[in-house]
Amino acid sequence: MALAKVLVVDDVAHMREVVADYVLRPNGYAVLMAENGEQALEIAQRDRPDLIISDIKMPGLSGLDLLRAVHRDRPGLPVILITAEGSEVIAQQALRAGAADYFIKPFDPDELLQSVERALRRSGAAAPASAPSFPQAPALTPETCLHVLTVMDDAVLLLDHTDRVIWQNTVAAALNLASETGAVTSPDLAALLARRLDRGEIVLDDGRSLEAHLTLLHDGGRVAVLRDVSVLKRLELAKSDFVASIAHNLRTPLTTILGYIGLLERAGPLNAAQAEHIRRARAAVDEMSSMLDELLNLKQLESGHTAQYAVVDISQLVTQVVEAFRPQAAAKSISLTNAAASDLPPVFGHPTRLRHMLSNLVENAIKYTPNNGAVSVVTYAQGEFILVQISDSGIGITPADQPYLFDELFRPEAVHGTYGGLRLGLFLVKRIVDEHNGRIWVESRLHEGSRFTVMLPVMRAKT
Ligand code: ADP
């Protein structure tokens, strides 16, 4: 198999070499280099690289111009852009213009490598020619490859461009996912194929769970590799059942505490200090009970899988979410507006999870906006995507905190102690957006406000 070719474009020679020598060559990629956008365009047309990594800011043709120019000729060619520190706004433009990913200097070479691998997998181009093979290894014959695939523990299916199974290994055959003619009979696998997803879950009739990875081949066919994750799923379920049962059981003592707080108030007149102590105790109990709600929510969200996907009208969902938060906004005198373009195409997704994701973003916007502020939600279509933007005039997020915002349990230092919450919100939001093959990013200025944009692919007509 030919080496995957990566074109590295940067006007600074040292940067080109870092990417080539630390990220690409040691991992088996062939490297092409260009020192400006014009040269890159020429090389892209002549040598047809499988991926481009380009700096954004270069004299002459910028990385963004290069991206647009190469996409006119080869729309699916993955382009990863690298920006100078502090130019996050350009980075957002890059994603919207169709960049596969973007990095802000200084970046972690391992993360760049992972991004290259991911982008190549998605585009269906060859990964690096087999990992550099050992010098003493005999050449791999087609018979050896076939034998390895046949005896693998994972199920492997080869599908042609019409999604018909043309070959499967022994493990796959035992799963009965296709008829004798090769037609896919598993509804979950059929749904993954129809939605052209590269990852998903398949639940068998006997309750077993399989994690599926699908890779596009050059001829439009696909390879599906399925791994039985039932044991892991059961463990995960046992863990979240345990958390849910604790959350559930903690409600009883909380109700008792609330009851006695109420009795204190009724037992006789309280002085101002006592009333204040009671108010604080009640607020703490309320906070604890909303954390328990979040834990129970998590459990609920974890139990869904792709079989529950449906055609979703996003603007309708957004409206339902916004309306549900009106009382909360009104309590803080925050103006809450909702605007949606008409005739938006539907999204194929999990309605409950999408609702949870949107609710979280709107709830955060209200929570992190002081009284008398403004929160607005705008929904529109752009190309093959629906975009939902949730903007607020709130406390904002520092540039330093922004890259970590979607990590589990992350909370900026400055916010500690002032606001309650379990810090699972944005982590779950990102997970849900990822599951739907979407993107999410934030633009924010400290003390001025934040804008979260969610980009979801519109439902494709079945081909
Ligand atoms: P939680 O709100 O429970 O802390 P999240 O995961 O929803 O957890 O959010 C993580 C952190 O991101 C929050 O603690 C907050 O600091 C910040 N954040 C989220 N949304 C906003 C927003 N709209 N404005 C300012 N900060 C925000």
Distances in whole angstroms, Cα of residue 391 to Cα of each of 338, 404, 412, 441: 11, 19, 19, 12
Task: Kindly indicate the confidence band of residue 137, based on its pLDDT and cuts at 50, 70 and 90.
Answer: low
Tell me the CA–centroid distance for residue 281 and ligand 1, in Å.
Answer: 24
Quick one: 119 and 219 in the same domain?
no
Residue that terminates a domain, selected from 199, 228, 257? 228
Quick one: 168 and 263 in the same domain?
no
User: For residue 14, is pLDDT > 90?
Assistant: no
E strands in 84-179: 101-104, 155-159, 165-168
Contacts of 459 (CB under 8 A, 6+ apart): 195, 311, 345, 346, 347, 348
Write out pLDDT tens, residues 424-450: 788 889 888 988 888 899 999 999 999
Q: Which range scores top for mean pLDDT: 84-88, 97-101, 175-179, 219-223?
A: 175-179
Residue that terminates a domain, selected from 302, 328, 362? 302
Q: What percent of the chain has pLDDT over 90?
A: 35
Ligand 1 contacts CB of residue 373 (under 6 A): no
From the CA of 410, give the closest atom in ligand 1: 10
Q: Is residue 134 part of a domain?
A: no
CA angle, residues 309, 311, 314, in degrees to nearest 5: 110
Quick one: 331 and 387 in the same domain?
yes
Q: Which among 390, 402, 426 is the best mutation to test ligand 1's pocket, defined by most ligand atoms within 8 Å of the CB?
A: 426
Quick one: 319 and 386 in the same domain?
yes
CA distance 149 to 143: 10
Can you give the CATH number for the domain in which 243 is found? 1.10.287.130
SS3 325: helix
Q: Is residue 285 part of a domain?
A: yes
Quick one: 321 and 370 in the same domain?
yes
Residue that terminates a domain, selected from 302, 331, 357? 302
Kindly state the DSSP code that residue 311 receives in the 8-state scheme. E
Q: What percent of the chain has pLDDT over 70?
A: 88
Tell me the CA–centroid distance for residue 198 and ligand 1, in Å.
Answer: 30
Q: Is residue 161 part of a domain?
A: yes
User: For residue 145, is pLDDT > 60?
Assistant: yes
CA distance 249 to 244: 9
**Residue identifier of the C-alpha nearest atom 7 of ligand 1:** 425
User: For residue 226, is pLDDT > 50?
Assistant: yes
Ligand 1 contacts CB of residue 449 (under 6 A): no
Write out pLDDT tens, residues 327-359: 899 999 999 999 998 889 999 888 888 998 999
Average per-residue pLDDT for the chain? 84
Q: Which range has the worst mean pLDDT, 173-187, 255-269, 325-339?
A: 255-269
Contacts of 68 (CB under 8 A, 6+ apart): 97
* Three-class SS of 42-75: HHHHHHCCCEEEEECCCCCCCHHHHHHHHHHHCC
Q: Is residue 170 part of a domain?
A: yes
From the CA of 394, give the closest atom in ligand 1: 24
Quick one: 36 and 13 in the same domain?
yes
Ligand 1 contacts CB of residue 52 (under 6 A): no
Please name which of 75, 293, 123 lies closest in space to residue 220, comparing C-alpha atoms: 123
Tokens of 49: 């690289």
Quick one: 314 and 250 in the same domain?
no
Q: Is residue 345 part of a domain?
A: yes
Quick one: 292 and 174 in the same domain?
no
CA distance 206 to 89: 49
From the CA of 392, give the closest atom in ligand 1: 23
Task: Kindly indicate the confidence band of residue 34, based on its pLDDT and cuts at 50, 70 and 90.
Answer: very high
Average pLDDT over residues 225-232: 89
Quick one: 246 and 150 in the same domain?
no
Cα pseudo-dihedral 104, 430, 229, 233, rounded to 10: 140
Tokens of 128: 């690096």
Q: Which among 297, 301, 362, 364 is the best mutation to test ligand 1's pocket, defined by most ligand atoms within 8 Å of the CB?
A: 364
Can you give the CATH number for the domain in which 355 is found? 3.30.565.10
Q: Is residue 116 part of a domain?
A: yes
Quick one: 223 and 236 in the same domain?
no
SS3 188: helix
Average pLDDT over residues 28-52: 91
How many other CB atoms are there within 10 angstroms of residue 266's CB atom?
A: 6
Indicate the helix (H) or strand (E) that contains 230: helix 230-267
Q: Is residue 255 part of a domain?
A: yes
Residue 463's pLDDT is 43
Tell me the CA–centroid distance for residue 287 and ligand 1, in Å.
Answer: 16
Residue 306's pLDDT is 47
Ligand 1 contacts CB of residue 217 (under 6 A): no
CA distance 102 to 53: 9
Write out pLDDT tens, residues 364-422: 999 999 999 999 999 999 888 999 999 999 999 988 888 788 876 555 655 545 565 55
Average pLDDT over residues 97-126: 82
Residue 414's pLDDT is 53
Give how many domains the chain has, as a whole number.
4
Task: Kindly indicate the confidence band of residue 312, based on its pLDDT and cuts at 50, 70 and 90.
Answer: very high
Quick one: 35 and 63 in the same domain?
yes
Domain that holds residue 165: 142-228
Distances in whole angstroms, Cα of residue 405 to Cα of each of 103, 229, 421: 16, 29, 14
Indicate the helix (H) or strand (E) that contains 301: helix 272-302
Tell me the CA–centroid distance for residue 294 and ligand 1, in Å.
Answer: 14
From the CA of 369, give the closest atom in ligand 1: 24
Q: Is residue 180 part of a domain?
A: yes
CA distance 76 to 247: 47
Backbone angles phi, psi at 134, to 5 degrees: -70, 140
**Residue identifier of the C-alpha nearest atom 1 of ligand 1:** 423
Residue 336's pLDDT is 96
Quick one: 401 and 276 in the same domain?
no
User: For residue 23, is pLDDT > 50?
Assistant: yes
Q: What is the pTM of this model?
A: 0.50
Tell me the CA–centroid distance for residue 367 and ligand 1, in Å.
Answer: 8
Strands 79-83 and 51-55: parallel
Can you give the CATH number for the domain in which 82 is found? 3.40.50.2300
Can you give the CATH number for the domain in which 181 is found? 3.30.450.20
From the CA of 426, give the closest atom in ligand 1: 6
Q: Which range scores top for mean pLDDT: 37-51, 92-106, 411-425?
A: 37-51
**Residue identifier of the C-alpha nearest atom 14 of ligand 1:** 411
